[in-house]
Amino acid sequence: MYQTVRVSVYQTVRVSVYQAVRVSVYQAVRVSVYQTVRVSGYHAIRVPGDDT
């Protein structure tokens, strides 16, 4: 009985940790990609007119 409870708790914890890690990694990647695109787009727009 105790073994079964321990295994199911372990499974639940592992799944929730995996979900949390995956979500946070996805968020971090999305934010960094957004930042990079925004910065490069900004430079692409600004730099050609500022090379005086």
Task: Determine the pLDDT at residue 28.
Answer: 95
Residue 38: which pLDDT band, with cuts at 50, 70 and 90? confident
Is 11 contained in some domain? yes
Is 19 contained in some domain? yes
Task: Determine the pLDDT at residue 40.
Answer: 82
Residue with the bigger pLDDT between 48 and 33: it is 33
Q: How many domains does the chain have?
A: 1
Tokens of 42: 């900004």
pLDDT surpasses 60 at 15: yes
Is 42 contained in some domain? yes
Tokens of 23: 């979500």
Task: Give, in order, the Cα–Cα distances in Å from 23 to each of 4, 17, 30, 41.
Answer: 29, 10, 10, 26
Is 52 contained in some domain? no
Domain that holds residue 19: 2-46
Is 35 contained in some domain? yes
Query: Which one-letter amino acid corresponds to residue 45?
Result: I
Task: Determine the pLDDT at residue 18.
Answer: 96
